[in-house]
Structure 1
Amino acid sequence: MANADRFSICGGNVLLPQGLCQTELCVEDSLISHTGSAPGRGHVIDATGLYVLPGIIDLHGDAFERQIMPRPGVHFDLQLALADTDRQLVSNGISTAYHGVTYSWEPGLRSRDTLLRMMDAMANAARYLACDTRLHLRHETYNLDAEAEILDWLAAGKIDLLAFNDHTPDILRKLTNPKDSMTVLQRCGLELGALRELAERVSARAAEVAPSIARLAAAAVAAGIPQASHDDPSPETRQWYQAIGCGISEFPKTRETAVLARKLGNHVVFGAPNVVRGGSHQPNNVSAAAMAHDGLCTVLTSDYYYPAMLPAAFRLSDDGVCTLPEAWAMVSSNPAEAAGLHDRGTLAPGKRADVLLVQAPAGRAPSVVAHLIGGRVAYAASGSRASLFSTNRPESADVEAVQAAVVA
């Protein structure tokens, strides 16, 4: 995709670190150069009537699993799945995505084989993907035989975010209920008896789990890799993870756990679908909007549904939970801080030009009109009222195509 080396975005309501304002945003050589009008600004994007926002950073998304296996036992090529996922990401405003790939003791969708193929596919696809796509390794803590391999990957820089999951007790519980067991059986491909036997054998090694987690956490700290603990059930669990260097609390189960996490200075992650749907799809789980209202949610992620992130931020603002700048921080600057991404997350000079032009008409869900990643056009919606590169149009095939697509 060709790059417009120098251009300005004018007429929009721009979200700067100090808040929303009517100003001009200038981009040069893939970075934000400055704000405010300046001579020799080059090409112009007319963003009148639109919000101009930092690109979304999604720290935890596993909806790509449905591209890999859209029906139980029906698998598709990983390159095809990644390409389609990339289109979903950029059209929904996600500039940086951490694919949450689970490495479990289970066979099938969450097995070592699937993970290795996914890692290879992501590496091979990187130059073809518009979204900056990274690996969030969701390590099942009872998968003890994987420890040595993960230690090697951490040292080699192959993991971008490490999360500690403990779904083994939940799997054992589900296997006692025919309806609940179907989800696990379908993704792993085993018969009920065989899976129950495997799960019981794995769970018998419970005494080895905590020391293994501590070794992995130490290696991640040494490598500078951010870490998250998933589904913290109690403040005591969060305190333990904090002590070993794991500073992100993903989907804490109780309010008390989230309160402690914030006191410890941790980022607390909840799902954007929880906000958009008005509550969690899991019975008895806390409300993400309520947590945000009380300052106990700092990061929203797509979780299992990519289109939720954009409307979740506007929903929090529209419902009076917080201001739009505060809500947008949950999908931009806060996840950037949590993941140590110092080059993005805000529209400030020197930052990567990951920029969204968003329309939010009354009574309708907000939508992406145009999406720039590193100053390059990654997506443009058809039928919008925006006029991209409306003056001094560059002689660039991809920009011309975008202009033709978005000018009504």
Structure 2
Amino acid sequence: MTYQGKIDAGATLFQGAQVLLADQIVETSVLIEGGRIAEIGGTSAGDRVVDARGLMLAPALVDLHGDAFERQMMPRPGVFFPMDTAVLETDRQLAANGIATAYHSLTLSWEPGLRSLEQSRGTIQAIRDLAPRLTVENRIQLRWETFCFEAMDLIDWALQAPLKPSIAFNDHTTMGVLHPDVPIQKRPFDQAPDFPVADLHSPAFARKMDKRAKRAGVTEEEYAALIRTRWEKRPDVPAAIGKVAEAGRRAGVAMLSHDDTQPETRAYYRALGATVSEFPMVIEAAQAAREGGDFIVFGSPNAVRGGSHIGSLAAADMVEAGLCDALASDYYYPAMLAAVARLDAEKRAPRPELWSLISKGPARAMKLDDRGEISVGQRADLVLVDWPDQGTPAIRATYVAGRPAYAAMPLGQ
């Protein structure tokens, strides 16, 4: 891959690549100008030329839910790193993995520590302040814990950002108090009056809170006391959900429900304007989403590993069944490309359809109609992929609105 001309002005012409279009892969040229795709297969010349022979040119990735950034902020339990360092490192990981648009899944919780409102506000502010230095488009998914009533001011502030966030309705409080005899995939609608609850004062329940307590920087007993106090506020949750949903509708942002287990859950959030089902846990919830015309999202790590690590639906099966519109990085950025590679090897669908799961699909789910596919007029968010036959694909270069964000030349070339 060779570059000619300046990298900061004029048009760029990609030549010799296998170009991944909506329904086929063809060797053709692509001209980008003014940050957009200006021509496909034409005869126009570029001010600079990218010789992409032997590579695939594809739409850059759109990640609608990724929380791997938490590892940059707190690489070990209770060990925090400077916020600017964490944001800059995350941005470079995104670019290197071909992700041109990323929604950082930022949990707005009543917990102290990593997922506290103070930490969330600091993260959002750091991303805003560092925006001129970042290489890709860093957005926020406001992963709002529905019991965190005090988050409303932060949500209103975040919704005023030039790069609009999304809102995910997340209820890990109710999931946390679920009776141990009921699998999380079988739990009833979160608002059900007869929801089965564990003994919140038992030592077993405190032990169950171990991982959450470490993340929050408190003891198991202290965390158990915190969640008991929150659970007492359950009658106020529906009104809070309605208020947040109204704010999201006014702002025109994409809204999602998280870990749906019942058709009733999906119908409830759809009625509020949340038209994306994120990680449905059972087939009935996924089918309800499809029947309702909603977008369906699964995690890329699920597809890479051949199934859910917690025993929920297998993403690959959902792709093959037509019950998946997008794959998110979830907790590991490289998983998006790796998921497509495995699904492609397993012949779950044609490669252009599979690639859409990490580009056009998530873009449309997030109401971003200007990116996600290679067609004239679209934003020139592109990746060059080294994908040998029977081999593992790797990102060679990432372009964001026509601007080089990442480039790598292997030692063997």
RMSD: 1.8
C-alpha spacing 1:374/1:169, structure 2 compared with 1 (3 Å): same
Which residue, 258, 273, 282 being the options, matches 2:301?
273
Structure 2 counterpart of 1:215, which letter? Answer: K
- Give 1:30 shift: 1.5
- Which stretch shifts more, 31-40 or 254-263? 31-40
The equivalences for 1:375-394 within 5 A come to 375-383=402-410
SS of the residue corresponding to residue 238 of structure 2 reads helix
Q: Which residue of 2 aligns with 1:19?
A: 24
C-alpha spacing 1:156/1:7, structure 2 compared with 1 (3 Å): closer
User: Within the alignment, does 1:219 sit opposite 2:224 as a pair?
Assistant: no
Q: Is the 8 A contact 1:57 1:331 kept in 2?
A: yes
- Which stretch shifts more, 233-242 or 184-193? 184-193
Structure 2 counterpart of 1:222, which letter? Answer: R
CA distance in 2, matches of 1:11, 1:179: 58
- Give 1:384 shift: 6.8
Which residue, 195, 199, 212 being the options, matches 2:223?
195
Q: Which residue of 1 aligns with 2:317?
A: 290
Which residue, 334, 337, 358 being the options, matches 1:310?
337
Q: Which residue of 2 aligns with 1:30?
A: 35
C-alpha spacing 1:178/1:198, structure 2 compared with 1 (3 Å): closer
> What percent of counterpart residues are identical?
41
Q: Is the 8 A contact 2:61 2:372 kept in 1?
A: yes
- List gaps (5 residues or longer) in structure 1: 386-407
The equivalences for 1:174-193 within 5 A come to 176=204, 180-193=208-221
User: Within the alignment, does 1:208 sit opposite 2:236 as a pair?
Assistant: yes
CA distance in 2, matches of 1:149, 1:80: 23
- Give 1:52 shift: 0.6
User: Within the alignment, does 1:250 sit opposite 2:278 as a pair?
Assistant: yes
- Give 1:207 shift: 1.4
Structure 2 counterpart of 1:292, which letter? Answer: V
CA distance in 1, matches of 2:157, 2:53: 50
Which residue, 71, 79, 82 being the options, matches 1:74?
79
C-alpha spacing 1:26/1:183, structure 2 compared with 1 (3 Å): same
Which residue, 73, 95, 98 being the options, matches 1:93?
98
Q: Which residue of 2 aligns with 1:351?
A: 378
- Give 1:188 shift: 0.5
CA distance in 1, matches of 2:401, 2:143: 28
- Which stretch shifts more, 301-310 or 44-53? 44-53
- Give 1:153 shift: 3.9
SS of the residue corresponding to residue 218 of structure 2 reads coil
Describe the superposition over 1:328-360 as per-residue Cα deviations: whole angstroms up to 9, x where unpaired.
111111111111112111111111111111011
- Which stretch shifts more, 245-254 or 158-167? 158-167
CA distance in 2, matches of 1:144, 1:33: 47
Structure 1 counterpart of 2:220, which letter? Answer: L
Which residue, 257, 260, 268 being the options, matches 1:232?
260
Which residue, 340, 343, 347 being the options, matches 1:320?
347
- List gaps (5 residues or longer) in structure 2: 1-5, 181-202
SS of the residue corresponding to residue 95 of structure 1 reads strand
User: Within the alignment, does 1:41 sit opposite 2:69 as a pair?
Assistant: no
CA distance in 1, matches of 2:411, 2:294: 40
CA distance in 1, matches of 2:358, 2:302: 14
Structure 2 counterpart of 1:27, which letter? Answer: I
C-alpha spacing 1:269/1:384, structure 2 compared with 1 (3 Å): farther
SS of the residue corresponding to residue 72 of structure 1 reads coil
CA distance in 2, matches of 1:158, 1:131: 12
CA distance in 1, matches of 2:285, 2:277: 9
Structure 2 counterpart of 1:208, which letter? Answer: D
Describe the superposition over 1:131-186 as per-residue Cα deviations: whole angstroms up to 9, x where unpaired.
10001110000112223542454366675100000001333359835664321111
Q: Which residue of 2 aligns with 1:54?
A: 59
Structure 1 counterpart of 2:63, which letter? Answer: D
TM-score, L = length of structure 1: 0.90
SS of the residue corresponding to residue 306 of structure 1 reads coil
The equivalences for 1:4-15 within 5 A come to 4-15=9-20
Q: Which residue of 2 aligns with 1:261?
A: 289
- Give 1:362 shift: 3.3
CA distance in 1, matches of 2:98, 2:355: 12
Describe the superposition over 1:99-134 as per-residue Cα deviations: whole angstroms up to 9, x where unpaired.
010010110000011011101111111111101000
Q: Is the 8 A contact 2:382 2:400 kept in 1?
A: yes
